[in-house]
Structure 1
């Protein structure tokens, strides 16, 4: 009995890891499958290189804009003293709760030819048509880059702020004492010491940009993500979609490899310390007003203005928007996000406690492999999940027919099972990382003390470890819940017939240029993301 339980305890983490890795393995294997339809070869001969170049250019532009947005904010909040600094340090994180496609529809509505901005300009200056003046078109690759950067810059801001706070204040003061101005000391000392955090933040932003579908599709920018969506839903070629997904995986591997290669020889040694209040230099005059203007204008563009526009439409079209469909889709989103968060938490507990009870290369490998899904775009995960489950469904149907029974239908690939699995593959890494960061703070001596008192591993986990990491567990649950509420690409590709989430419901109205009816469900997505996000931030502030 003990042997069987021991084998199960050893086997379960690897079973979970293999399930989470199966979509990636399926995508890699699909690269070697011959495409009988010839669709992939046709794409390769015509537009595939354009898709790849657009994708790389989009990533580059989003990263550059994100650096321009995040770096000054992180420096102001971490190393300067000015009014509202304490408020800004957490408000600047809130745009993470804003799906980029919602920001996109708001600014398209505001800045289009028929929008209030251009209409006001025509009334003020007497212009009659678009031929009388020039106004930049937001529905371009550059416009999509700015929109994505407004939604994604908090990733880099959080990491850079943490890096600036962790730096020894004496290094910066030494640079100042050698005659460097604050700006030159920032470029010569603070930025080189924050290179690791910047590389990780840039990688996160690049991966999120690579996986974006709704924004680029709404702006008619052809990328690899839109190619996967069109190939599967319009051409019906799963093999071709899988091959394009393998190209995206290759781009992803190149991005991660470049990030690791750029830091291969970097070693930073500094005395433990932080930027304390007495080291922060006080901004006065035009510098103070410049910092206030930049930070609050950025928050207004990325959060306050989109919410204000959505509130306006939601109030004016409330009666038409509030219907049974909205209520049903809200319930669908809530229970789906709740279920995925619970399952992701279970996965995190299995692999992390396996690592804690069996420290070594094998356990670390299980944790790292189970976390690969978050680095893979949602469209790629969707195709990777579709391939094995569709083949299993076909095999089961053939088996039942050979037994003289009626076919089962698409019991896996055509049900909610595939949607839950796709979300789980995508977001388990968030829970794994959060639980791991909490668990490493629990001293192993507590486990040893529990064992000497006669408690086994299971009772030690239940009585000692879980109570000590309950905040980390709640944080993991909330973060996965927020991401699942916002997820669109995987939901569009994997949802069964007659099943919608708030994200897909909003996207339908966005596709039909009906922002008025998309406003209320979009606000619900934002609110359901903002409230848990604020709760998590307060928990982390209290813990620190």
Structure 2
């Protein structure tokens, strides 16, 4: 009986996560084709072109920065290399739209850079040209700065697990250092790198705050404008369907890449690489390469935002901001608790019944991570708004009572949207923790008479305490940063730190927007530090004798 309840609860959680995606598809397909023809004739080509251009720039930039930095800190000892192992992950704590607010203040016409330029040269506003940060390339740079850690983390893990035998064989056959890197090390790490790039692309198409602040018309901004500015839900659903198709294609490719990554083992050979020491100009060039993304993606924005917050005169301790913090904590805490609880049910069900049905359940439940928050919001609001209207009409006709909106605009519906959006984060973390538990423990517990609920609560929960806490922290911070779904679905009078920062920035009150932005970043540092500690603990490598190199990328002269 208990096993059946757990099984039903797991399937219910997975179907709830899938429901908004299916609802968005049905709403789009049931819409008027006249609306679709209007979109094709007007805004759709621009949305497609801008989205593809943004995705291409961000994917290339993140791949170059993440892969290059991962190779350097994994394979070499240079000034600051051990410190950069952690520092290179810190930009992940920044939402891209917060970075956009900081650099808009710094690089805009009244900002510090252009003001100093005019003071030094004596030029007037029309005497010089300065690149416009509020543009598509500017949005791409902001996204690269905060998303390259996805590629860095996966590539670093892949490089750290490679053996020295293939590399040495390539060098023995006369290949130079760069040839060996591009023909041996890079292809071996390709599945991990491509997987990281696909995650970057998913986050890019889901972004709303950055492109909206920089006035770049993409699918994300189009969905929001169609819903609120034009009041056209059919158009919003049809745009969401286009974005959903692209996101599902990326999810399919990521799944293929993950399967390929699993097929590559370390193999035998001479063990793992040991770091090679690089000194002189080459070492300092590596230091500069690794320091630049940390400077642009973390240190400089923190300094800018701190200055802006001081100038604004706003305080996070003000009662109004305490309300924003309370709303943010309520939403993030509720969503993290619900998401991790449902993720635990799904992963435990997969543990008890491994097979195709469990894999299907996990895939369906985690699909929301590939879907932008705006699509999730549309998928939930369209059917529940119709249900609200149906109930209100029936109550009005039967009893003369207007019920208003019972579901739409409620906090619990927003929590469900966040659960559907970030379920994959909980599933991946718990699955990693559960995979370290030997099946013999389950067998011993069942032999001693433990039922499935007893196995879950008395055996697995105590073992998985660390993984559960990690999953809750990750989901908590993801929800804190979430903007599109919260903007569309938040109840009246319910404003989070992300919504407040976006509202102030939309009104060009950037100094005031710095206060909630800094609060979001401060909270976001928690899981980033946790990830760094896990990597540091899981990638300890043996110390082997090393030679002092004189060339790149392996230190040989080739």
Q: How does 1:357-506 map to 2 (within 5 A)?
A: 357-506=352-501
Cα distance change on mapping 1:12 and 1:413 into 2, 3 Å: same
Cα separation, partners in 2 of 1:272 and 1:120, compared to 1, 3 Å: farther
| Stretch moving more, 390-399 or 282-291 | 390-399
Kept after mapping to 2: 8 A contact 1:30/1:239: yes
Contact 2:410/2:491, CA 8 A, preserved across alignment: yes
**1:325 maps to what in 2?**
320
Q: 1:119 aligns with which of 101, 104, 115?
A: 115
User: Which residue matches 2:56?
Assistant: 60
Moved more, 426-435 or 454-463: 454-463
Contact 1:168 1:271 (C-alpha < 8 Å) held by counterparts = yes
Total equivalences in the alignment = 538
1:537 to 532, 535, 543: 532
**What are the equivalent positions in structure 2 for 1:93-108 lying under 5 Å apart?**
93-108=89-104
Q: Give CA deviations for 1:236-278 in whole Å, capped at 9, x if unaligned.
A: 111110010001012223334556678998964541689756x
CA distance in 1: counterparts of 2:322 and 2:81, whole angstroms: 39
Separation in 2, partners of 1:427, 1:306: 26
Task: Look up the match of 2:543.
Answer: none
1:41-440 mapped onto 2 (5 Å cutoff): 41-129=37-125, 131-257=126-252, 268=264, 270-271=266-267, 276=272, 279-319=274-314, 322-440=317-435
On the 8 A contact 1:165/1:275 being kept in 2, the answer is no
**Deviation per residue, 1:40-78 (Å, 9 max, x gap):** 332211121111111011100111111121111000111
Equivalent residue number for residue 14 of structure 2 = 17
Rounded to whole Å, the distance in 2 between the matches of 1:319 and 1:486 is 21
Secondary structure of 1:391's aligned partner:
helix
Instruction: Name the CA distance, whole Å, in 1 between partners of 2:426 and 2:254.
Output: 24
Structure 1 position 543, deviation (Å): 6.0
Is the CA contact (8 Å cut-off) linking 1:435 and 1:476 kept in structure 2?
Answer: yes
Q: Deviations over 1:398-428 (max 9, x none)?
A: 3323432513211111211221111111111
Query: Which of the pair has the greater relative contact order for Cα pairs under 8 Å at 6+ separation?
Result: 2
1:539 is displaced (CA, Å) by 4.9
Q: Deviation per CA, 1:299-337: give whole Å up to 9, x if none.
A: 010000000011112223335665322110011101211
Question: Is the Cα contact below 8 Å between 2:504 and 2:510 reproduced in 1?
Answer: yes
Query: What SS does the corresponding residue of 1:31 show, helix, strand or coil?
Result: helix
The 1:244–1:324 alpha-carbon spacing in structure 2 relative to 1, beyond 3 Å, is: same
Are the equivalent residues in 2 in contact too, given 1:166–1:273 (CA < 8 A)? no
Q: Which residue of 1 aligns with 2:522?
A: 527
Q: Calculate the TM-score normalised by the size of structure 2.
A: 0.92
Q: Distance in 1 between matches of 2:513 and 2:253?
A: 39
**Contact persistence 1:144–1:216 (CA under 8 A):** yes
Residues 90-116 of structure 1: per-residue CA shift (max 9 Å, x gap): 221111110101111111111112211
Distance in 2 between residues matched to 1:179 and 1:450, nearest whole Å? 57
Moved more, 58-67 or 403-412: 403-412
For 2:546, the equivalent position in structure 1 comes to none
Could you tell me how far 1:503 is from its partner in structure 2?
Answer: 0.2
Q: Could you tell which deviates more after superposition, 286-295 or 311-320?
A: 311-320
For 1:504-515, what aligned pairs fall within 5 Å after superposition? 504-515=499-510
Distance 1:26 1:18 in 2: 12
Bigger shift: residues 334-343 or 322-331? 322-331
Q: Structure 2, unaligned stretches of length 5 or more?
A: 540-558
Aligned-pair RMSD on alpha carbons? Answer: 2.1
Contact 2:28 2:241 in 1 (8 A): yes
- 8 Å contact 1:486–1:503 — kept in the other structure? yes
Q: How high is the TM-score relative to the length of structure 1?
A: 0.94
CA deviation string 1:10-43 (max 9, x = no partner): 322111111110111012212321328x443322
Question: Matched residue of 1:49: which SS?
Answer: helix
In the alignment, is residue 8 of structure 1 matched against residue 5 of structure 2?
yes
